[in-house]
Structure 1
Amino acid sequence: MENLGLIFFIGLIIVILFGCLFTVKQQTAAIIETFGKFSTIRQSGLQFKIPLFQRIAGKVSLKIQQLDVIVETKTLDDVFVRLKVSVQYVVIKDKVYDAFYKLEYPHDQITSYVFDVVRAEVPKMKLDNVFVKKDDIAIAVKAELQDAMIEYGFDIIKTLVTDIDPDSQVKEAMNRINAAERQKTAAQFDGDAQRILIVEKARAEAESKRLQGQGIADQRREIARGLEESVEVLNRVGISSQEASALIVVTQHYDTLQSIGEETNSNLILLPNSPQAGSDMLNNMVASFTASNQISETMKEQKKNAAKKDTDKNKDDQ
């Protein structure tokens, strides 16, 4: 019996010790109540309470917590959109009592304020501005929550608009608009590239024509210089300029026929020719030169007579 009583006593002591001692984790506060009334707040570490008289009413985390709130609302241009607002908050260490006793469901309270602010701000904006000004929405939510929750012992660390999700049909329309804008930009770049190619090609062709014309002009200049020298040589032996020019043309005619005949790769070319061809060509050219000289002399005589009449008229007027 004595051994049984000793064992019972030892067990009772152990139960009392376990009931008296408890631990509080780091970044946690424990609420102690005595007979259902608030007594004290215990911080992290090994703590003591009076068994049977005191109890742990609850524990409050002092870590930064995050609450994600999804709000569906309408924009100024009548587009329904879902916003995900992430609220990061923490219980103020000196206000654990207020956080535990003043507010039953802090998550619901925070959610209500987020809904209120978002549904007051977003309907003032068009859909595009919601994306651009999401930081302004987050700042407005934080300001409202900070003023409301500080009274209950909560400090709002940061609020973020982490997602903006318009209606599926609106997203498809936005994607089509974006794709059309990109295609328009690509078409403009393609057009500019084609225009540059055309301009550069035209410049190259113009430069080629200019050089080609310059080459032809140089060639003709050298031909004319050679013909002039040939005429001077023929003049020295008593051949007139007209006869020399005709002779040169006939010579070039036969030289051309000879060069065509010497070309082995050329196709068959039929040219009108006869023994009298050279003589006829020479006679025709001499006749042409003679007629040209006569016309030239006649025009000079007419100009001379007109100038004389103008001079006589001026004298009479004076």
Structure 2
Amino acid sequence: MEVTTVLGYILLFFLIIVIFSSFVTVKQGTIVVITVFGKYRRILTPGLNFKIPLIENIYSKISIQNRSVELEFQAVTYDQANVYFKAMLLYSVLNQAEETIKNVAFKFVDERNLMQALIRTVEGSIRAFVATKKQSEVLILRRDIVEHVKEQLDAILESWGYHLQDLQLNDITFDDVIMKSMSQVVASNNLKAAAENEGQALLITKTKAAEADGNAIKISAEAERQAAQLRGQGIALFREEVAKGMTMAAKEMQTANMDTSVILFTMWTESIKHFSENSKGNVIFLDGSSDAMQRTMKEMMSLNLLHTDAVKK
């Protein structure tokens, strides 16, 4: 009786273990691969799943979340310059399809072999691309390198069941000697550009100054021309008004039977009076003799007759 009881407890314990081992909990973001006697059977999705005890076994648990790995490697350019890369590789399982999961589970022996193949494939693709470029071109071809790697790796990674999400080239450096020479080239180019900009600025400044001077000269000349024209017009108007006044005075004097030479004498005396009142220390020598006065009167009368004839014509 006691042996039977012990055996019963053992069977009950074994049955409990079998029952509990029949249920499998799969975490979110994970796919479980089930095999039967070493052969692929099916996959288990996230949640509570049932498997046949003692027959179905869990072969592997595959994460379908994004994974990243950092890379550091060296490449050689077309002109034999060493380039050092620091990169970050972001990849993931292509999808949750059964065929994809089978590829992920059985293409490689383990995760370590997968990572080695993935890293070496990326490095080889970048090295092949860089080998066709000069060292001066590498820094500006960062995006081209990434696109080249994705084109080369997409088909290969899909056959493994993976997809390359992103490749970031965080750092690209050269040997110290090349870095110094590149810095010198950049510095010299900056100095050259600064000198060219300064020369252009100086040229523009001088050009604008010359244009301003030319415009100022033109404006001054035009103003002087207009002023001279106005002065000439003023003198002409003054002479015309004087002539009109003298003509009217002469006519009035002729009507009154008076000698018109009195007008010229009056103008002559008024001029002397004006000189004496408005002069500022200047000395004017006038011949006050009767002969000089008569000569001056005759000249003024001749001028008056000439102006009168010109007005009549």
Shorter-chain TM-score: which interval?
A: 0.5 to 0.7
In the other structure, the counterpart of 1:43 is 44
**Cα distance, 1:209 vs structure 2:** 0.6
Distance 1:16 1:201, change over 3 A: same
Distance 2:277 2:36 in 1: 134
Paired residue for 2:173, among 152, 166, 188?
166
Q: CA RMSD in A?
A: 4.3
Distance 1:54 1:43 in 2: 12
Q: Any residues of structure 2 matched to 1:143-222 within 5 Å, and which?
A: 143-154=151-162, 156-167=163-174, 169=180, 172-173=183-184, 176=187, 179-180=190-191, 183-184=194-195, 186-187=197-198, 190-191=201-202, 194-195=205-206, 197-222=208-233
**Cα distance, 1:121 vs structure 2:** 1.0
**Cα distance, 1:90 vs structure 2:** 2.1
In the other structure, the counterpart of 2:89 is 86
Structure 2: gaps spanning 5 or more residues: 251-259, 300-313
Distance 1:196 1:66, change over 3 A: farther
One-letter identity of the residue aligned with 1:208: I
Q: Is the 8 A contact 1:29 1:60 kept in 2?
A: yes
Q: Any residues of structure 2 matched to 1:233-248 within 5 Å, and which?
A: 238=261
In the other structure, the counterpart of 1:228 is 239
Distance 1:43 1:171, change over 3 A: farther
Deviates more, 1:209-218 or 1:71-80: 71-80
**Cα distance, 1:175 vs structure 2:** 5.6
In the other structure, the counterpart of 1:257 is 279
One-letter identity of the residue aligned with 1:163: N
In the other structure, the counterpart of 1:103 is 108
Paired residue for 1:22, among 21, 24, 39?
24
**Cα distance, 1:34 vs structure 2:** 4.3
**Cα distance, 1:118 vs structure 2:** 0.9
Distance 1:213 1:100, change over 3 A: same
* SS of equivalent to 1:124: coil
One-letter identity of the residue aligned with 1:18: F
Distance 1:78 1:234, change over 3 A: farther
- Output the TM-score relative to the length of structure 2: 0.62
Q: Is the 8 A contact 1:24 1:43 kept in 2?
A: yes
Distance 1:57 1:165 in 2: 41
**Cα distance, 1:77 vs structure 2:** 5.3
Q: Is the 8 A contact 1:31 1:58 kept in 2?
A: yes
Distance 1:27 1:43, change over 3 A: farther
Distance 1:185 1:21, change over 3 A: farther
Distance 1:85 1:129 in 2: 21
Distance 1:51 1:227, change over 3 A: same
Distance 1:177 1:79, change over 3 A: farther
Percent identical pairs in the alignment equals: 17
One-letter identity of the residue aligned with 1:55: N
Distance 2:182 2:84 in 1: 12
Deviates more, 1:159-168 or 1:100-109: 159-168
Q: Is the 8 A contact 1:32 1:55 kept in 2?
A: yes
